[in-house]
Amino acid sequence: MSDSWKITLPCTRAEAEAIDPEGPAFAAMTAPPVLLTRELTEDDVEDWVLDAYFQDKPGRTEIALLRALVPSAGGVKVKPERIAEQDWVTLSQAGLEPVQAGRFYVHTSANRGDPPAGARAFHIEAGLAFGTGHHETTTGCLLTLEAMRARGMQVRNLIDVGTGTGLLAFAAMHLWPRARATASDIDPISIDVTRANAAANGVRLGAGPGRLALAVAPGMAHADIERRAPYDLVLANIIAAPLIELAPVIAAATAPGGTVVLAGLLERQAAAVAQAYRRHGFRIAGRVTLGDWPTLRMVRRPIR
């Protein structure tokens, strides 16, 4: 393993929560950095830190992109730190504490912790795909899914659009073990990560009930996804703009009475996202808000 590099910049909580791990800033890079934020002083919204881990020494362009993410650090001198002969992804996970969301317990190999009795533990590594459970958007989706199951909702056919690591699809399959499940992502790396995570977590792949089918697709534009519709549960933890753009496509693929769980949006974006789905026959059925990150549960009205 060759040397890797780390840059640390101070930031505020607001800046940390606004960082989009899948945003365009680093999309053109062959090996984009792993970005992690953490609170230095408990309940101090001004005392946060951004850590960025690079496989190669970052240059002026990469440093400028990082600075743009955290404007409050504008006057801070940036000095890349060489990390000799270590696995940069594993190192970046060392500070990630396990996350518990209802019955779900999500951990990395670097910090397994002690799962509580009765919890469904998922081993999800951070690094090449978004959706480790360590962000409020993913946690909000997990809590929403558990609440749906507790109310007795039945799911026979589900899809996780923009699956990232596969975690939400895995959680839904745990709650509804006989459902047919699909996970899609526009990024082939995310599908490779999901495949590896499925093996690590005992999730069976395939097309039948209780199995997960995988597809590389922009949104839901894939023959297999279209063939498996309609879905009675659609999960989409992405960001606001594509959620709005996908509203008519997701509506067309959702069964009457079916549910969509929408996340990855900020509080100020919730009204616009909800309105886009109302135009296509959905109503708000519930929401979970963690910090500035709401998770919307919307139900498609029956066709009369």
The contacts of residue 143 (CB under 8 Å, 6+ apart) are: 101, 102, 288, 295
Q: Is residue 221 part of a domain?
A: yes
Based on the domain organization, do 278 and 152 belong to the same domain? yes
Tell whether 201 is in a known binding site.
no
User: Model-level pTM?
Assistant: 0.70
Instruction: Compute CA distances 251 → 18, 174, 176, 257, whole Å.
Output: 28, 25, 22, 11
Whole-angstrom Cα distance, residue 58 to residue 242?
A: 30
Neighbours of 221 (CB within 10 A): 13
DSSP character string of 263-300: ES--GGGHHHHHHHHHTTTEEEEEEEEETTEEEEEEEE
Q: Is residue 208 part of a domain?
A: yes
Q: Which of 94-108, 143-157, 231-245 has the lowest mean pLDDT?
A: 94-108
Whole-angstrom Cα distance, residue 7 to residue 115?
A: 32
**How confident is the model at residue 236, as a pLDDT?**
96
Tell whether 166 is in a known binding site.
no
Q: 114 pLDDT exceeds 80?
A: no
Taking residues 133-137, what's their average pLDDT? Answer: 65
**How confident is the model at residue 304, as a pLDDT?**
64
**How confident is the model at residue 129, as a pLDDT?**
41
The residue from 71, 91, 111 where one domain ends is: 91
Tell whether 232 is in a known binding site.
no
Based on the domain organization, do 133 and 255 belong to the same domain? yes
Range(s) of the domain holding residue 86: 4-91
Tell whether 185 is in a known binding site.
yes
CATH number (domain holding residue 59): 3.30.70.260
Based on the domain organization, do 144 and 198 belong to the same domain? yes
Highest mean pLDDT among 73-77, 127-131, 251-255: 251-255
Number of domains in the chain: 2
HSE value, Cβ hemisphere, 13 Å, CA-based, for 76: 19
Based on the domain organization, do 169 and 222 belong to the same domain? yes
The contacts of residue 218 (CB under 8 Å, 6+ apart) are: 186
Whole-angstrom Cα distance, residue 50 to residue 187?
A: 24
Handedness of CA 169, 209, 280, 184 (dihedral sign): positive
Q: How far is CA 90 from the centre of its chain?
A: 19
CATH number (domain holding residue 231): 3.40.50.150
